[in-house]
Amino acid sequence: MKALIIKQPGEAIVQSVAEPVVKGQDLLLKVRMIGLCGSDLNSFRGKNPMVSFPRVPGHEVAATIVQGNSNLAAGTDVTVSPYTNCGKCASCRRNRPNACQFNETLGVQRDGALAEYITMPPEKLYTAKLSVKELCQVEPFAVGFHAVARGRVTAHDTVAIFGCGGVGLGAVAACHLRGARTIAVDVADGKLSLARKAGADCAIDSSQESLHEKLLEFTDGLGPDVIIEAIGTPQTFRAAVEEVAFTGRVVYVGYAKELVAYETRLFVQKELDIMGSRNALPEDFRQVIQMLEQRLFPVDDAVSAIVPIEETPALLRAWTENPSRFSKIMVSLD
Question: Are 319 and 10 a contacting pair, CB within 8 Å?
Answer: no
CB closer to Zn ion out of 112 and 313 = 112
Span 2-41, contacts to Zn ion by CB under 5 A: 37, 39
The residue range among 99-107, 202-210, 218-226, 230-238 that interacts with Zn ion, by the rule CB under 5 A, is 99-107
Using CB under 5 A as the binding criterion, the count of chain residues that bind Zn ion stands at 8
Question: Is 203 among the residues that bind Zn ion (CB under 5 A)?
Answer: no
CB closer to Zn ion out of 113 and 309 = 113
- Hey, how many other C-beta atoms are within 10 angstroms of the C-beta on 255? 15
Question: Rounded CA gap, 160 and 216, in Å?
Answer: 11
CB closer to Zn ion out of 136 and 215 = 136
The residue range among 69-77, 138-146, 266-274, 278-286 that interacts with Zn ion, by the rule CB under 5 A, is 138-146
Question: Are 238 and 227 a contacting pair, CB within 8 Å?
Answer: no
Question: Is 86 among the residues that bind Zn ion (CB under 5 A)?
Answer: yes
Question: Is 160 among the residues that bind Zn ion (CB under 5 A)?
Answer: no
- CA of residue 284 relative to chain centroid, distance: 12
CB closer to Zn ion out of 42 and 206 = 42
Question: Rounded CA gap, 203 and 297, in Å?
Answer: 17
Q: Assign 227 to helix, strand or coil.
A: strand
Question: Is 188 among the residues that bind Zn ion (CB under 5 A)?
Answer: no
From the CB of 97, what's the least distance to Zn ion, in Å? 6
Question: Rounded CA gap, 319 and 330, in Å?
Answer: 13
State which H helix or E strand residue 237 sits in: helix 234-243
From the CB of 110, what's the least distance to Zn ion, in Å? 15
284 phi/psi in degrees, rounded to 5: -65, -45
Question: Is 100 among the residues that bind Zn ion (CB under 5 A)?
Answer: yes
Question: Is 84 among the residues that bind Zn ion (CB under 5 A)?
Answer: no
From the CB of 86, what's the least distance to Zn ion, in Å? 4
Question: Is 281 among the residues that bind Zn ion (CB under 5 A)?
Answer: no
Question: Are 2 and 115 a contacting pair, CB within 8 Å?
Answer: yes
Q: Which of 14, 17, 66, 89: binder of Zn ion (CB under 5 A)?
A: 89
User: What is 126-179 written as a DSSP string?
Assistant: EE-S--HHHHTTHHHHHHHHHHHHHTT--TT-EEEEE--SHHHHHHHHHHHHTT
The residue range among 135-143, 232-240, 248-256, 273-281 that interacts with Zn ion, by the rule CB under 5 A, is 135-143
Question: Is 222 among the residues that bind Zn ion (CB under 5 A)?
Answer: no
CB closer to Zn ion out of 141 and 218 = 141
**Running DSSP on this structure, what letter comes out for residue 322?**
-
Residues 6+ apart with CB under 8 A from 232: 163, 254, 255, 256, 257
Taking residues 298 to 317 in sequence order and writing x for each that binds Zn ion by CB under 5 A, - otherwise, the string is: --------------------
From the CB of 221, what's the least distance to Zn ion, in Å? 36
CB closer to Zn ion out of 28 and 37 = 37
- Hey, how many other C-beta atoms are within 10 angstroms of the C-beta on 83? 22
From the CB of 60, what's the least distance to Zn ion, in Å? 5
Using CB under 5 A, list all residues that contact Zn ion. Answer: 37, 39, 85-86, 89, 92, 100, 140
